[in-house]
Structures are given as structure tokens and as C-alpha cells.
Amino acid sequence: MIHWRRYFAELVGTAALLCAVIGSGIMAEQLAGGNTAIALLANTLATVFALYVLIETIGPISGAHFNPVVSMVMAFRKDLARHHLIGYVVAQLIGAALGAWAAHAMFELEILQWSAKVRTGPAQWFAEAVATGGLLFVILRSPEGKASSIVACYIGAAYWFTASTSFANPAAAFGRMLSNTFAGIAPSDVPAFMVAQLIGGALGLALHQALAYNDKHKP
């Protein structure tokens, strides 16, 4: 397949995912009347449904990574050609920004903005490592043809069992720092999230490999 189609698919998919995350957060905040739990629930459901649809529709083209950590792990495993990695990551970051700006445009907000929402501290960093590790684990352990539903279910659960609401994705953190809305994150807090996500991705890969070894050596 022509490489640009894969990169464009990652750009479109990541843009649509961030548009769903940020747009649903804006709508939820407007309609929830100050009830943060209801707003988060609405945000979660929209993200889960969008993620499932995007993986199903874009997966056959690019693998539907939408996430630099996923692409890095796939390149490490040689499931993604390593010369495609930079193109995937650049497409994902551009897509994340476009998704944030599209959400703002739909709700008649200022297109270019920075988030002021503080998300920091050891608990949230640890939560991001757990969220990303779990995400990579379920991606790598998903039976063939079932990744879309399993990944969507995991992200829906991780929204609620992690202190950070499970960004689990450097591209998502990048896009969300460009939105001073319900789903945003202050730019100064993004680097620590990204480091935690990279660590979590490595741990998720290590856990998968440990279990894969056991799969191959069952008595």
C-alpha cells in the first residue's frame, strides 16, 4: 500500500478520536449542570463508541494506532516497518491538533487556545503508566478480530479506575493541551504524562512477552 494512505489514515483517525474526546467533553460540561460525574460518564461513552468505530473502519488501512506509544511498540516488534514510525507519529500529532480545533469550531469556541487545567502529581503519573501499560497489554493480547471491542471496553473502564482518566496516549495529551475545556490538560503537565505513558507502554509490552513465553511453554 502507498505509504501516504497509511499516514493519512492515522491523521484522520487521531483527529476524529480527539474531536470525539474534546467535543463530547464540551457538550457534557454544557449539559451536566455542574455534575462532574455525569459529564465524565458522557465523555466516556462518546469516546468508547468513537474508538470502536474508528478501529473497525481504519484498522484495515493503518492498524488504527492513533497513539505514538502503540506505534513505537509495534515498530519494536516489527509489526510496523520501522521506517514508517516517524510518519505515523507526525500524522498522529497533527491529527490530534486538528481534532481539537475541529471540536472548538463546532461549538463556536476560539479555535486556538491553551488549556489551564492542572493534571499533575505522582498519583496521576502512576495512573498514566498503569493506563498505558494496560492498553498495550490488551492490544497485544487481543484475539484476532476482537481488538476494537476489547480496546474500547478497556479505555471506557480506565476512564474511571485511573486518577488521570486514562489519556494513555501522547497524541491525546498533545491535542488536549490545545483545548481549555473539560478534557484539557495544562501544557506544563504534558511532558510528565508523556514520560509516564512511554514507561507504561514498555511495561505493557514486557508483561505481554512474559505471558507469551508461558503460552509457548505450556505443559
Q: How many domains does the chain have?
A: 1
What is the residue-level pLDDT of the chain in tens, covering all 219 positions?
568 999 999 999 999 999 999 999 999 999 999 999 999 999 999 999 999 999 999 999 999 999 999 999 999 999 999 999 999 999 999 999 999 999 999 999 999 999 999 999 999 999 999 999 999 999 999 999 999 999 999 999 999 999 999 999 999 999 999 999 999 999 999 999 999 999 999 999 999 999 986 665 554
Longest alpha-carbon distance in the chain = 61
Amino acid code (one letter) for 167: F
Domain span at 33: 3-216
| Cα four-point dihedral sign 72, 97, 150, 29 | positive
CATH number at residue 198: 1.20.1080.10
Contact 114, 177 (CB under 8 A): yes
**Beta-carbon contacts of residue 115 (< 8 Å; ≥ 6 apart):** 176, 177, 178, 179, 180, 181, 184, 185, 186, 187
